[in-house]
Amino acid sequence: MTSTTPASRGTYPKGERRRAQIVSAAFEAFAAAGFEGASMASIAEACGVSRAGLAHHFPSKDALLIAVLEERDRLNGERFFAGVRRGEDGADYLRRLLAVLEHNTTQREVIALFAKLSTEAITPGHAAHGYFVERYSWLREHLAAALGDLARRGLLREGADVRHLPSELIALMEGLQIQWLVEPAAVDIPARVRARLDEVLATSIWH
């Protein structure tokens, strides 16, 4: 919104608050019932708006789902990666990534929603399919850039083959999260990811 008239300044915060309420209600609905099981009517009722009011902000359930996913990424980005540029400091990036994994252990509903949706979204026609394709792509790129920086600085073990490590790390993190959802006490996600990284690191970066 670029207008700076008094009227727009008065209505913008209210509209943003309402949008945030809708996204929050949608997150809870998707986490509880999955994307297909949650209805726009129930989401509207949960946040106290009419169907028309909900449609004003989100004309479709697909648009609402993407907003939920993007909001989670935005919050994590602000909390853990503010000011970080890809490939600038690989050690710093990996430390921040482990901090995200540690934080995720306090966000069971978030992790459950992502696990559920990532499975549902394997079908190309699913609303979140494109989101997950893009998300995995940029995550692989960021991990590859971090590892590339470590290699240039001589911080990887001699002969370490990390060409496919970004994909392996994503698989490890998401697989561990599923096990953690089933049996939290049996799985230490950050510790296992850190141990895998230690296999290719020439020196500790965890200070």
Residue 9: its pLDDT value, please? 40
Give the SS3 label for residue 201: strand
Structure tokens at 46: 């949960």
pLDDT of residue 175: 96
> What pLDDT is stored for residue 5 in this prediction?
37
Task: List every span in the chain annotated with CATH 1.10.10.60.
Answer: 1-69
8 Å CB contact between 24 and 47: yes
| Confidence (pLDDT) at 141 | 95
Best CATH choice for the domain 81-207 from the list 1.10.10, 3.90.1310, 1.10.357, 1.10.20: 1.10.357
Fold entry, domain 1-69:
Arc Repressor Mutant, subunit A (1.10.10)
According to CATH, where is 1.10.357 located in the chain?
Answer: 81-207
Give the predicted TM-score (pTM) of the model.
Answer: 0.80
pLDDT at 36: 81
Tell me if 81 sits within 8 A of 68, measured CB to CB.
no
Provide block-wise average pLDDT over 10 residues at a time, the chain (207 residues): 37 76 88 84 91 90 88 85 85 94 88 88 90 94 96 95 96 96 96 97 93
DSSP-derived 3-state class of residue 9? helix
| Three-point CA angle 61, 104, 126, nearest 5° | 25
